[in-house]
């Protein structure tokens, strides 16, 4: 057994536990997708996840990738970002944070903590509470 295999086994146990805490049964394919998503904080479309898994030699059917990402998002394991109405990005970081959206490329990046501040919140009816503030700064190259 090489080092990579033993590391993989440890990660697998950690990922199985993570999925279980979100009420998700850890199938082999879900674990592959989770392993890719949680290797680092990142934003990926379902298509990017599908292609990356194929590139890594661990292909998962496109429909399974889409269904799994939507399941993970529904259970709060990842966050679905609606930057573009035609293409959802999935964020492996579910902590509150803001984003820059590059309209030219479709890429998404986190805005470092403290770089954007909300000066004032709107008054809300007493029966409502603000759950989150998600700011998207949309950018493009100057013409």
By CB under 5 A, name the one of 16, 35, 52, 110 that touches Zn ion: 110
Give the whole-angstrom CA distance, residue 88 versus residue 86: 7
Judged on CB neighbours under 10 Å (0-12, 13-18, 19+), 30 is buried
Per-residue binding letters, 39-68, with Zn ion (x by CB under 5 A): ------------------------------
11 binds Zn ion (CB under 5 A): no
- 91 part of the interface to Zn ion, by CB under 5 A: yes
Block residue for tokens 């496109």? 62
Minimum Å distance from CB 98 to Zn ion?
8
Q: How many residues bind Zn ion (CB under 5 A)?
A: 3
Separation between Cα atoms, residue 72 and residue 80, nearest integer Å: 9
Structure tokens at 107: 């890429």
Minimum CB distance to Zn ion, residue 116 (Å): 13
Nearer residue to Zn ion within complex by CB, 11 or 110: 110
In the numeric block, which tokens belong to residue 116?
């954007």
Number of other CB atoms surrounding residue 141 within 10 Å: 8
Q: Which two tokens stand for residue 64?
A: 């399974």
Binding piece for Zn ion, criterion CB under 5 A, among 31-39, 46-54, 93-101, 112-120: 93-101
User: Least separation, in Å, of the C-beta of 128 and Zn ion?
Assistant: 25
In the complex, minimum distance from the CB of residue 77 to Zn ion, in angstroms, rounded to a whole number? 14
Q: Which two tokens stand for residue 48?
A: 């990017």
Contact footprint for Zn ion (CB under 5 A)? 91, 93, 110
């Amino acid at each position: 057994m090489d080092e990579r295999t033993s590391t993989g086994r440890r990660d697998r146990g950690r990922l199985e536990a993570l999925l279980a805490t979100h009420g998700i049964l850890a199938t082999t394919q879900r674990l592959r997708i989770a392993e890719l998503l949680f290797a680092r904080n990142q934003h990926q479309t379902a298509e990017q996840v599908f292609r990356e898994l194929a590139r890594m030699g661990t292909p998962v059917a496109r429909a399974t990738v889409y269904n799994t990402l939507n399941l993970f998002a529904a259970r709060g394991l990842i966050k679905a970002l609606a930057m573009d109405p035609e293409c959802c990005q999935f964020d492996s970081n579910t902590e509150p944070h803001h984003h820059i959206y590059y309209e030219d490329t479709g890429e998404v990046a986190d805005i470092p903590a403290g770089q954007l501040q909300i000066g004032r919140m709107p008054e809300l009816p007493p029966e409502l509470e603000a759950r989150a503030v998600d700011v998207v700064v949309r950018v493009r190259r100057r013409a």
